[in-house]
Amino acid sequence: MVEEEGGRSREDTLRDPGRSPLQLAADHEAHVLLEQALAQVNPKFRAAVVLRDIEDLSYEEIASVLDLSLGTVKSRILRGREALRKNLAGRLDADAVFGLAPQPIE
């Protein structure tokens, strides 16, 4: 390995740090499974979960959008997440989906 200026090799410069095709395919599969599981959640719970966990709205914003009390919003998010967890149980490796799986050493 020939070092260039700054102590970096040509391989370091050319190496693509992006996700591999296998990782991209796994991401897509997890996304599809998540969408399918989310579609099975009661719509009133799903709306609260999507607004919080996907749209990143605050509890107060969700209460305003859905015209609900803050307590009802929190309850619906909790119940929606629990329903989603049950729908996904055994279908996904949560560590791999959320990027917590150990990465291979290169």
**Hey, where are the domains in the chain?**
20-95
- pLDDT 10s digits, 49-94: 999 999 999 999 999 999 999 999 999 999 999 999 999 887 765 5
- pLDDT 10s digits, 39-60: 999 999 999 999 999 999 999 9
**Would the CA dihedral through 97, 27, 53, 78 be positive or negative?**
negative
CATH architecture for residues 20-95: Orthogonal Bundle (1.10)
